[in-house]
Structure 1
Amino acid sequence: MSVITTRLATPDDIPELQQLIGISVRGLSTAYNTPQQIESAIKYIFGVDTQLVIDGTYYVAEMEGVTVGCGGWSKRNTLYGGDQHKEVEDPLLNPETDPARIRAFFVHPDYARRGIGTHIIKVCEAAARHAGFKSLQLGATLPGVPLYVAMGYQALENIQQPMPDGHVLPIIKMYKNL
């Protein structure tokens, strides 16, 4: 089995990660979302949040030099979505009272179910814990829910996220104590 490595994403990674996100969503969401929901979500919600890259909390996962996934955590308020889904820089969270966020997890479909998502989550949880956070929240799309449940996250709320073209993306807000 190939070794999964992670490194912090850099601005130079963003174009490749944007491509990976589209490939991931189109390849892994078809059993959960309609083609229209998938394309709308790629256009309006999914994407790299460059604030995570700037904050040094977004990771690239590689196997044998190939980018196979990405994901991160955040010390900021936004629960989900890339740059196109927000308008201003997020306010910082208080580690004493607020949960950190698990954000923007995507795995290449050719490498799905090989432990990549689990590996990145463990890296993010350790980093958030090191930064003083005691709990985590995330906005899971339906394909990600089984992974997050297996990692100890519990559903808090079902969100029906409207998109500008009239389509709606189901998202499950989830929580975990560290």
Structure 2
Amino acid sequence: MTTITTRLTTFNDIPVLQQLIAASVRSLSIGYNTPNQIESAIKYIFGIDTQLIIDGTYYVAQLGETIVGCGGWSKRNTLYGGDQHKDVEDPLLDPEHDAARIRAFFVHPDYSRRGIGRLMMAVCENAAQSNGFKSFQLGATLPGVPLYEAMGYRPIENINQPMPNGEVLPIVKMHKAL
């Protein structure tokens, strides 16, 4: 088997990542969310947050030349959502007092359950830690909760994220301290 590698995301990766995100959500959310919740979340919440690319904190996982996953961390306040979910500038966090945000993890369904999420989490946690952060926070969708719990994250709040079409997406706000 070819080794999974990681690298920083570039703007040229966006078209591939948009397809990967949609495929991931449509496949891996079955049994956790309704079809309407899934399609609404793809339209209104999930997507690329270009601020992560600009900040150099968003990564892709590759198997050979194929992008099989993505995920990042942020030194900014936003907990989840792509560009379409934000309408204000995202303020910087203080690593002495705030938790780094673990953001936008998606794995292509053809490559799920192969350790890609764990690898990406290690890359992001290490990078955030090297930038002075001592704790992490994330907004997990229901399919991600078991992975994050296995990696030491604990639920701290359930969020029912309304979407413009009336659908609601359940999100679990989770935290991990070093």
Question: Does TM, normalized by the shorter one, top 0.5?
Answer: yes
Amino acid at match of 1:98: D
Q: Specify the alignment match of 1:27 in structure 2.
A: 27
Q: Specify the alignment match of 1:18 in structure 2.
A: 18
Q: Specify the alignment match of 1:103 in structure 2.
A: 103
The TM-score, its normalising length taken from structure 1, stands at 0.99
Given the alignment of the two structures, is residue 174 of structure 1 paired with residue 174 of structure 2, yes or no?
A: yes
Q: Structure 1 CA distance, aligned partners of 2:147 and 2:61?
A: 17
Q: Structure 2 CA distance, aligned partners of 1:4 and 1:140?
A: 23
Deviation digits for residues 135-172 of structure 1 (CA, Å, limit 9, x no counterpart):
00000000000110011000000000000000000000
Post-superposition offset of 1:131? 0.1
Q: Specify the alignment match of 2:60 in structure 1.
A: 60
Post-superposition offset of 1:29? 0.3
Counterparts of residues 1-178 of structure 1 (less than 5 Å): 1-178=1-178
Post-superposition offset of 1:64? 1.7
Where structure 2 has 5 or more consecutive residues not aligned to the other structure, the ranges are: none
Post-superposition offset of 1:116? 0.2
Post-superposition offset of 1:15? 1.2
Q: Structure 2 CA distance, aligned partners of 1:157 and 1:23?
A: 27
Where structure 1 has 5 or more consecutive residues not aligned to the other structure, the ranges are: none
- Percent of residue pairs bearing the same amino acid type: 75
Q: 4+ residue stretches of structure 1 with deviation over 2 A?
A: none
Q: Structure 1 CA distance, aligned partners of 2:70 and 2:45?
A: 16
Amino acid at match of 2:89: E
Q: Structure 1 CA distance, aligned partners of 2:171 and 2:75?
A: 20
Instruction: Indicate if the aligned counterparts of 1:99 and 1:137 stay in contact, CA closer than 8 A.
Output: yes
Q: Structure 1 CA distance, aligned partners of 2:5 and 2:87?
A: 32
Deviation digits for residues 50-69 of structure 1 (CA, Å, limit 9, x no counterpart):
00000000000001211100
Q: Structure 2 CA distance, aligned partners of 1:114 and 1:39?
A: 25
